[in-house]
Chain A
Amino acid sequence: MNTESISKNNNTELLREIKEETRKLALMEVCGTHTMAIAKSGIRNLIPPNLKLLSGPGCPVCVTSQGDIDSVIELVKESDIILVTFGDMIRVPGSDSSLQEVRSQGADVRVAYSPLDALEIARKNPGRDVVFLGIGFETTAPLIGATIEEARRQEASNFSVLSLHKLVPPALEVIFSDPDIKVDGLICPGHVSVVIGLEPYKLLAEKYAQPCVITGFENNDIIEGIAMLLLQIRKKEAFAEIQYKRVVKSEGNPVAQQILQSVFKAAGARWRGLGYIPDSGLAIRSEYRSFDAREKFQLPEIEDRPIKGCACGEVLTGKISPHECSLFGRACTPLNPVGPCMVSHEGACAAYYRYSPLKGGKK
């Protein structure tokens, strides 16, 4: 769908309301799927220029720290494991290499759609250790937790998980607390919220006086989500509400929350662009330690070595747009990505490169 088709649908009235906004405001989306959907839809071109849509730390591949990527690459190079992960992760450049490169040198790195596929690989390869590289937010972590529980049920002693999972609310607290980041409202992630529900955003909205709207991914959803945020701002209100009601329930998914609680515990995590945030990651509980790859392989902690010239950190916190990175579209393209925001198809740089590649931002 393009801007023309949006204009034709029944959200014309909402668009008119949005266009009436004259104040300089910044709304941040915190989901890679939103980033891609917004870029593709041309919504940026429909809304007035005083209204800025920022991409936040919503792409799990992008926010994985350089040190964590390097330690995974080290693990694969130094052992005879089968590493299984989601697609985008294998192309992310580490400091010296990528999982794709070490695979071309003989390492066994495989891409899976579901963590259950990794468990199946473990069942078929009883003589080898299979490590699933767990990345993702609250949407994905319960699935990995359920897979760990299933691995315990199957007594799959050759299966383990390297948990690099991250939690969205602690990162939002950092964003809201940073005086260099101006955000007036939050387009909250739709599918993370399927699991966590409305409550975490209620706390954030109250603590930081930030309007929060859990928003779906269709163009109409996004338009409506923006209009709902602007309405709160106009009324000088700040509360959490759900636009994406067809999937998100206020209470979230209690079963998924229970799995998260029983398999994982909150732990400090390093985020690209945001640094170390206490209790923003998920570590595997000691009851499941035999499935914890970090413990099983005594994974060393590797310091983050920033990529020279790469501004993914600033892009992920909305401090700059992808166009403002000096590497964008020149040294860094989807064919030769320098940073993860250009690798992941949900990364802000990849979305901008595809849909508004010109420095002016308008296609």
Chain B
Amino acid sequence: MCLGVPGKVTAIKENQMAVADVNGNYVDISIIMTPQVRVGEYVMIHAGFAMQVMGQEEAEESLRLMLELQEIRESYANEHREHFEEQ
């Protein structure tokens, strides 16, 4: 549940919000906890909030794990499809 996903900040918006590129998906995130972050930098995102600024290399390393875990979840969901479809 404490999963963190790395993303690259592509735009800073008003009200401490930003847009991040997470493996090709552009998502709105809050940067209230990383006010120092700038466009082009990487952050670790947890439940829609940037929690820490990361280096590019570190972010790419973490992304590999994220994709691996996504694979687990998808295969887990496929195995137990009837329950997940209800959600």
A associates with B? yes
Contact B58 A247 (CB under 8 A): yes
Set of chain B residues within 8 Å of A146, measured between Cβ atoms: 30, 32-33, 49
* Cα of A145 to Cα of B52 in the assembled complex, Å: 17
Contact B1 A346 (CB under 8 A): yes
Set of chain B residues within 8 Å of A216, measured between Cβ atoms: 62
Query: Which residue of chain B lies nearest to A117 when distances are taken between CB atoms in the complex?
Result: B48
Contact B47 A194 (CB under 8 A): no
Contact of B48 among A33, A143, A248, A334 (CB under 8 A): A143
Query: Which residue of chain A lies nearest to B35 when distances are taken between CB atoms in the complex?
Result: A255
Chain B interface residue bracket vs A: 35 or more
Set of chain B residues within 8 Å of A36, measured between Cβ atoms: 69, 72
Set of chain A residues within 8 Å of B44, measured between Cβ atoms: 191, 194, 247
A: number of interface residues (CB 8 Å): 54
Binds B, one of A20-28, A132-140, A174-182: A132-140
Q: Is the interface of B mostly helix, strand, loop or mixed?
A: mixed
Query: Given A146-B30, A249-B52, A345-B73 in contact, is the A59-B58 Cβ separation under 8 Å?
Result: no
Set of chain B residues within 8 Å of A346, measured between Cβ atoms: 1
Q: Is B55 interfacial (CB-CB < 8 Å)?
A: yes
Contact residues, A3-62 vs B (CB, 8 A): 31-33, 36-37, 40, 59-61
Rounded to whole Å, the gap between the CB of A164 and the closest CB of chain B is 13
Set of chain A residues within 8 Å of B32, measured between Cβ atoms: 146, 255, 259
Report A106-149 CB contacts with B as 1/0, cut-off 8 Å: 00000101111100000000000000000111011011001000
Q: Is A352 interfacial (CB-CB < 8 Å)?
A: no
Rounded to whole Å, the gap between the CB of B50 and the closest CB of chain A is 10
Contact of A246 among B35, B58, B69 (CB under 8 A): B58
Rounded to whole Å, the gap between the CB of B38 and the closest CB of chain A is 16
Set of chain A residues within 8 Å of B14, measured between Cβ atoms: none
Query: Given A91-B83, A246-B61 in contact, is the A191-B47 Cβ separation under 8 Å?
Result: no
Contact of A142 among B33, B55, B68, B83 (CB under 8 A): B33
Set of chain A residues within 8 Å of B30, measured between Cβ atoms: 116, 143, 146
Q: Is A195 interfacial (CB-CB < 8 Å)?
A: yes
Contact A191 B4 (CB under 8 A): yes
Contact A114 B62 (CB under 8 A): no
Set of chain A residues within 8 Å of B10, measured between Cβ atoms: none
Contact of A140 among B46, B62, B69, B76 (CB under 8 A): B46
Query: Which residue of chain B lies nearest to A58 when distances are taken between CB atoms in the complex?
Result: B2
* Cα of A309 to Cα of B38 in the assembled complex, Å: 53
Contact B47 A246 (CB under 8 A): no
Report A203-236 CB contacts with B as 1/0, cut-off 8 Å: 0000000000000111000000000000000000
Contact A60 B83 (CB under 8 A): no
* Cα of A189 to Cα of B46 in the assembled complex, Å: 14
Set of chain A residues within 8 Å of B49, measured between Cβ atoms: 114, 142-143, 146
- Could you write out 25 A-B pairs with CB less than 8 Å apart? A31-B2, A36-B69, A87-B87, A100-B87, A113-B48, A114-B47, A114-B48, A136-B2, A142-B49, A143-B30, A143-B48, A191-B44, A218-B65, A246-B58, A247-B44, A247-B62, A248-B52, A253-B34, A255-B33, A255-B35, A256-B51, A259-B33, A335-B80, A335-B82, A345-B72
